Amino acid sequence: MNKRNRKYIYILLALSALLILMTGCYAKKSDKKIIGISAPSNEIQRWALETVQIRDELYKRGYDVITQYASNDVAMQINQIENMIAQGAEVLIIIPVESASLGEAMDMAKEHNIPVISYDMLITNTDAVSYYTTFDNYGVGRIMGEYVRGKLDLDNASRTYNIEFTSGNPGDNNAAYFFNGAKDVLQPYLDNGVLNIVSGQTTFTQCSTPGWSTEKAQHRAENILASFYQDTDVDIWISGSDITSLGIIGALGNSYNGSYPLITGQDCSLLNVKYIMEGKQAMSVFKDPTLLIEATTNMVDEILSGKEVTVNDTETYFNGIKTVPSYLCKPVYIDADNYEDVLISSGFYTKEQLLED
């Protein structure tokens, strides 16, 4: 071998060593298991905060995390999930844009044997969803109904109260649970005439809000107020979520002169809590994210270490194909009397956050 060839061989050897070293580093980095988090968007306060909290908790527990937001677009979410699978995600935590629309991505997860945890909103029409972590969604609705029953003492009412319902996104499997929970508590009072739905819009579908859109909720509320409440008061408005409550509050400001109704909500979003402090909204259901995040990240650990996965409900959540083993956390309500105790002492908000403009 002449000198020149030897030089080339040395260069080649050096390059291969470098390559091996680089692959070694890469392999070392990817020793950490990757968890994929897929969320509808980061514009809704809940998803923006909770995805970051889940990620940080997973980092603490030694995982790598890929987080993606889908701009509320089903096709984009499918694409993002497929990319997470391609990047080696070993568990997927998914909040679906629409419960029933993740088919293709779920097929791919199944082909690759990747466990899927449906976070808060159930993924339906697939057997590829392994577990579900959420709050007692029917319980959320019941809390709203019980709050109204208690506040207005419906059992001893000497008058009729006018009531309207705004339910959520028909594409969100949770939305009907919220509606039915509240409706079931209030049905006896609708039956005995203590409550009266003046608009006559009584079903989930009639009251629904596609995409949980504030604008759509406002538009529907404005129509109802213009058509039915020019000469009479609306006393109660059951709203499935804080997002829709904002629409109702907007509509009342624009199209109503009567006495102000009791409005429900859910999520304790910052603006809504401020409205509760000002008396524009009566209550909101608080779903303490620390409970849900702990349940979900524990599940990830259990799945990946082959332990038995902790669930507390194996009956409620049939997704059209299978009953998904679930872990349900407990919701509570907040209102003007207890918000400081519940929200500030739990660290969900600081006093300053609630007081700033």
Applying CB under 6 A, among 118, 124, 166, 174 the residue interacting with ligand GAL is 174
Which residue carries 């997002």 as its tokens?
A: 243
Q: Closer to ligand GAL at the Cβ: 261 or 331?
A: 331
Query: In whole angstroms, what separates CA 154 from the centre of its chain?
Result: 31
Site string for ligand GAL, 179-198 (x = CB under 6 A): --------------------
Element (H, E) at 94: strand 89-94
Which residue's Cβ has the minimum distance to ligand GAL? Answer: 174
Query: Minimum distance from CB of 239 to ligand GAL (Å)?
Result: 11
Q: For residue 82, give both structure tokens.
A: 């497929």
Burial 77-102 (b: 16+ CB within 10 A, else e): bbebbeebbeeebbbbbbbbbbbbbb
The 3-state DSSP class for residue 187 equals helix
Near ligand GAL in 227-266, by CB under 6 A: 241, 243, 266
Query: Minimum distance from CB of 171 to ligand GAL (Å)?
Result: 10
Near ligand GAL in 320-349, by CB under 6 A: none
Q: For residue 183, give both structure tokens.
A: 């409706």
Query: Minimum distance from CB of 253 to ligand GAL (Å)?
Result: 22
Q: Which amino acid is at 198?
A: V
Near ligand GAL in 81-140, by CB under 6 A: 120-121
Q: Closer to ligand GAL at the Cβ: 102 or 195?
A: 102
Applying CB under 6 A, among 131, 212, 317, 339 the residue interacting with ligand GAL is 212
Near ligand GAL in 266-285, by CB under 6 A: 266-267
Q: For residue 258, give both structure tokens.
A: 């009567």
Query: Minimum distance from CB of 126 to ligand GAL (Å)?
Result: 18
- CA 196, CA 204: separation in Å to the nearest integer? 16
Q: Site for ligand GAL (CB under 6 A): how many residues? A: 12
Near ligand GAL in 16-55, by CB under 6 A: 44, 46
Q: Closer to ligand GAL at the Cβ: 212 or 327?
A: 212
Q: Closer to ligand GAL at the Cβ: 280 or 287?
A: 287
Taking Cα atoms as reference points, which of 146, 121, 144 lies closest to residue 266?
144
**Which whole-number Å values give the CA distances from 330 to 137, 139, 143, 333, in the listed order?**
9, 8, 11, 10
User: Could you tell me which residues come within 8 angstroms of residue 30 by beta carbon, excluding any fewer than 6 positions away?
Assistant: 64, 88
Catalog residues that contact ligand GAL under the rule CB under 6 A. 44, 46, 120-121, 172, 174, 212, 241, 243, 266-267, 287
